[in-house]
């Protein structure tokens, strides 16, 4: 463990995730082209763009769900694309987390809330029922789900609760890097606001690095430190969130910012 | 008595060779499910087509065969499979566990201790222990490859959360030699401790699913559990009503319309052996 601690100290000044020239093609079409960026520990990066702009493709490539055609992804000094699948899958259930847009994709609908939260713990070797249950109860509390719902299945939960359960299930092993694909999509605005509030608290408390894909500029305004704007598979603009949103340089970003309805 | 229209033990030699290769591979990698080209057998799937093929590949003319179904030698499945091999292989058959060299079984391990040189062949309906948790075959194979067995404990967790204890009572998942998680076929969990460190060879055949797997003699087999909810090999809390045995696995038999019931050993050979030796239970006939 000592060696890991030293590595982690050194890693604070190093980017946690660095991406160079990432390209994914679907036949002749480009999914995402020549994307490069760095993500530092504790940083939240937003990726915005319209539907079909390649942001979900990019996220899938980063999380290892899709294999990119070109480029390099380095996580904490390790080449993600070159590492053995065993190691990559171990990463994705310990140090990484992936929050799906539709909670049904990220949850086991036939398993109780407690089982859903406990799965990652058991996957990394927890074998004590009492302590698994205790941790699960604690996490349900942290995402504002009543403790007496622990034995209910997610199918008995509302959409907002399912999404919060999915977040608890992902964060229970204390990951360092979280991928989120439209975490607030399909939720009504008041539920969205509470979820964002919750996410912001968790990100600050746990010092998470997050890559969050969304088409909702309000979400990135609240959560993201930095912003990347994509169009047609390419990055058209990136920078600090407030800078990009308040003083957009690229024509598409200007259009995007001015398209938001002011209430 | 051998029916000369068939090759010895029904299957042709090339098929038996193919099955033996799968068995050897299974023995070399304990608990690993080896795919094999399962043949159509003259019986429906679910009646032991996998077990029958494994038995056919193991039989030699000198073998003595015993076939049990839920521990009993005289049930339909056991009788028809025994007849099948009497007719196609002409081997000697027996109902005594100690005399048999090959024992084909459905859903039980005999009570009498097995010895070196014996082969126990299990009939397996669904070889994949992760099947009802993860429906994708490609994914379950990957999970076996990468030893991702956390999901198996999720099932046990759900049991405890819902019933207060691990309610899985048969086909209880085991880990073989610290590596592969294996479905021991639908034997009661009472039999699980007999899987490990067994002097006999244990072979598992799943005909419809086309898988063979094996536990070689003296292999470590652990039943999965939690530290605070350890595995318990449970049985009905009674003695056998025919032979008085307190340590054997019991079947519950309803005997009238007034809620009357009796408990009898599911292993008929074990029970009749004890009765012959003079042991008596609650319902033993008088003056026997």
Q: How confident is the model at residue A218 (pLDDT cuts 50, 70, 90)?
A: confident
- Answer whether residue B219 shows pLDDT above 80: yes
- Of A82-96, B70-84, B189-203, the range with the lowest mean pLDDT is A82-96
Q: If you count DSSP H runs as helices and E runs as strands, how many of each does chain A have, helices first?
A: 11, 10
The confidence score (pLDDT) of residue A5 equals 67
Which chain B residues are closer than 8 Å to A108 by Cβ?
154
Q: How confident is the model at residue A260 (pLDDT cuts 50, 70, 90)?
A: confident
Which chain B residues are closer than 8 Å to A112 by Cβ?
158, 161-162
**Residue range A141-148: average pLDDT?**
92
Partnered with residue B151 across adjacent β-strands are: none
Q: How confident is the model at residue A13 (pLDDT cuts 50, 70, 90)?
A: confident
CB contact under 8 Å between A115 and B229, yes or no, is: no
Q: Give how far B169 is from chain A: nearest CA, Å.
A: 19
Among B203, B275, B213, which residue's Cα sits nearest to residue B245?
A: B275
Q: How confident is the model at residue B285 (pLDDT cuts 50, 70, 90)?
A: confident
CB contact under 8 Å between B151 and A130, yes or no, is: no
Of A86, A120, A129, nearest to B157 by CB-CB distance is A129
Which secondary-structure segment (H or E) carries A163? helix A159-171
Pick from A108, A122, A137, A172 the residue to mutate for testing the B interface (most B CBs within 10 Å): A122
The confidence score (pLDDT) of residue A215 equals 83
Q: How many CB pairs under 8 A join A and B?
A: 50
- Answer whether residue B180 shows pLDDT above 70: yes
- Answer whether residue B242 shows pLDDT above 90: yes
Q: CA-based diameter of chain A, in Å?
A: 56
Pick from A88, A89, A114, A115 the residue to mutate for testing the B interface (most B CBs within 10 Å): A115
The confidence score (pLDDT) of residue A52 equals 86
> pTM for this one?
0.85
Domains and CATH numbers, chain B: 13-223 (3.40.50.11310), 235-283 (no CATH)
Q: Give how far A19 is from chain B: nearest CA, Å.
A: 27
Q: Residue B144's closest chain A neighbor by CA?
A: A86
Mean pLDDT in chain B?
94
Of B148, B150, B228, nearest to A128 by CB-CB distance is B228
Of B150, B160, B162, nearest to A123 by CB-CB distance is B150
**Residue range B207-235: average pLDDT?**
96
Residues present in chain A in total: 263
The confidence score (pLDDT) of residue A9 equals 64
Return the sign of the alpha-carbon dihedral for residues A142, A221, A170, A93. Answer: negative
Which chain B residues are closer than 8 Å to A133 by Cβ?
161
CB contact under 8 Å between A114 and B161, yes or no, is: yes
Which chain A residues are closer than 8 Å to B229 by Cβ?
129
- Answer whether residue A43 shows pLDDT above 60: yes
DSSP letter, residue B95: S
The confidence score (pLDDT) of residue A8 equals 59
**Residue range B229-254: average pLDDT?**
94
Which chain A residues are closer than 8 Å to B228 by Cβ?
128-130
Q: Give how far B203 is from chain A: nearest CA, Å.
A: 29
Mean pLDDT in chain A?
89
Q: Are B38 and B53 in contact (CB under 8 A)?
A: yes
Which chain A residues are closer than 8 Å to B151 by Cβ?
119, 122-123
Q: How confident is the model at residue B5 (pLDDT cuts 50, 70, 90)?
A: confident
The confidence score (pLDDT) of residue A195 equals 86
Among A117, A112, A128, A116, which residue's Cα sits nearest to residue B229?
A: A128
Of B148, B157, B162, nearest to A118 by CB-CB distance is B157
Question: pLDDT digit string (tens) for B254-270?
Answer: 999 999 999 999 999 99
- Answer whether residue B129 shows pLDDT above 90: yes
B162 and A CB contact within 8 Å? yes
DSSP letter, residue B45: T
**Residue range A220-246: average pLDDT?**
92
Residues present in chain B in total: 288
* A88-120: burial string, b at 16+ Cβ within 10 Å, e else: bbbbbbebbbbbbbebeebbbeebbbbbbbbbb
Rounded to whole angstroms, the Cα distance separating B6 from A57 reads 59
Which chain A residues are closer than 8 Å to B158 by Cβ?
111-112, 115
Rounded to whole angstroms, the Cα distance separating B179 from B160 reads 25
Q: How confident is the model at residue A2 (pLDDT cuts 50, 70, 90)?
A: low
Of B150, B161, B228, nearest to A122 by CB-CB distance is B150
Strand stretches in B88-239, DSSP E: 92-93, 102-106, 119-123, 174-176, 180-182, 201-206, 211-215, 221-223
Rounded to whole angstroms, the Cα distance separating A4 from A10 reads 10
Radius of gyration of chain A (CA): 19
Q: Give how far A111 is from chain B: nearest CA, Å.
A: 7
- Answer whether residue B34 shows pLDDT above 90: yes
Rounded to whole angstroms, the Cα distance separating A103 from A100 reads 6
Question: pLDDT digit string (tens) for A32-41?
Answer: 999 999 999 9
* Cβ neighbour number for residue A236 with a 10 Å cutoff: 18
Which residues of B are identified as catalytic? 31, 240, 243, 265, 271
State whether residue A57 is helix, strand or coil: helix
- Answer whether residue B185 shows pLDDT above 80: yes
Of A108, A115, A123, nearest to B161 by CB-CB distance is A115
């Amino acid at each position: 463990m000592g060696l890991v601690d030293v590595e982690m100290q050194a890693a604070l000044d190093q980017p946690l995730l660095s991406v160079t020239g990432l390209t994914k093609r679907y036949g002749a079409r480009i999914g995402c082209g020549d994307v490069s960026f760095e993500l530092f520990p504790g940083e939240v990066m937003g990726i915005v763009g319209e539907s079909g702009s390649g942001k979900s493709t990019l996220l899938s490539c980063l999380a290892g769900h899709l294999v990119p055609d070109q480029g390099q992804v380095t996580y904490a000094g390790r080449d993600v694309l070159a590492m053995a699948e065993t190691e990559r899958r171990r990463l994705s259930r310990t140090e990484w987390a992936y929050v799906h847009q539709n909670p049904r994709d990220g949850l086991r609908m036939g398993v109780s809330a407690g089982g859903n939260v406990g799965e990652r713990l058991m996957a990394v070797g927890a074998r004590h029922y009492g302590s698994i249950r205790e941790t699960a109860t604690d996490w349900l509390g942290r995402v504002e789900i009543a403790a007496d719902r622990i034995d209910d299945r997610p199918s008995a939960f509302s959409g907002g609760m399912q999404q919060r359960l999915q977040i608890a299930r992902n964060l229970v092993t204390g990951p360092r890097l979280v991928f989120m694909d439209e975490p607030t999509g399909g939720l009504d605005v008041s539920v969205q606001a509470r979820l964002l509030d919750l996410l912001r608290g968790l990100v600050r408390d746990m010092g998470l690095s997050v890559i969050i894909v969304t088409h909702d500029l309000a979400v990135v305004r609240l959560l993201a430190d930095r912003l990347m704007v994509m169009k047609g598979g390419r990055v058209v603009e990136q920078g600090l969130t407030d800078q990009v949103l308040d003083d957009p340089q690229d024509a598409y970003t200007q259009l995007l910012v001015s398209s938001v309805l002011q209430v | 008595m051998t029916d000369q229209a068939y090759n010895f033990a029904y299957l042709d030699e090339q098929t038996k060779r193919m099955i033996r290769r799968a068995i050897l591979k299974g023995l070399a990698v304990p608990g690993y499910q080896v795919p094999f080209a399962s043949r159509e057998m003259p019986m429906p799937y679910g009646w032991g087509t996998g077990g029958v093929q494994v038995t056919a590949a193991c039989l030699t003319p000198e073998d003595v065969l015993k076939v049990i179904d839920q521990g009993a030698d005289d049930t339909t499945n056991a009788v028809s499979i025994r007849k099948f091999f009497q007719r196609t292989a002409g081997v000697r058959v027996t109902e005594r566990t100690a005399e048999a060299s090959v024992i084909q079984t459905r859903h039980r391990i005999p009570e009498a201790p097995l010895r070196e040189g014996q082969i126990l062949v299990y009939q397996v309906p669904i070889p994949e222990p992760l099947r009802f948790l993860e429906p994708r075959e490609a994914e379950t194979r990957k999970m076996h490859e990468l030893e991702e067995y956390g999901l198996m404990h999720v099932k046990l967790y759900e049991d405890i959360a819902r019933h207060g204890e691990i309610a899985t009572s048969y086909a209880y998942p085991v880990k073989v030699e610290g590596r592969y998680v294996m479905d021991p076929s639908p034997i009661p969990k009472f039999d699980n401790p007999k899987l490990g460190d067994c002097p006999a060879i244990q072979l598992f055949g799943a005909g419809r699913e086309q898988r063979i797997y094996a536990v070689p003699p003296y292999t470590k087999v652990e039943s999965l559990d939690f530290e605070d909810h350890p595995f318990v090999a449970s049985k009905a809390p009674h003695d056998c009503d025919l032979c008085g045995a307190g340590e054997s696995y019991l079947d519950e038999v309803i005997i009238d319309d007034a809620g009357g019931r009796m408990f009898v050993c599911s292993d008929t050979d074990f029970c009749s052996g004890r009765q012959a030796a003079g042991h008596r239970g609650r319902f033993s006939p008088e003056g026997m």
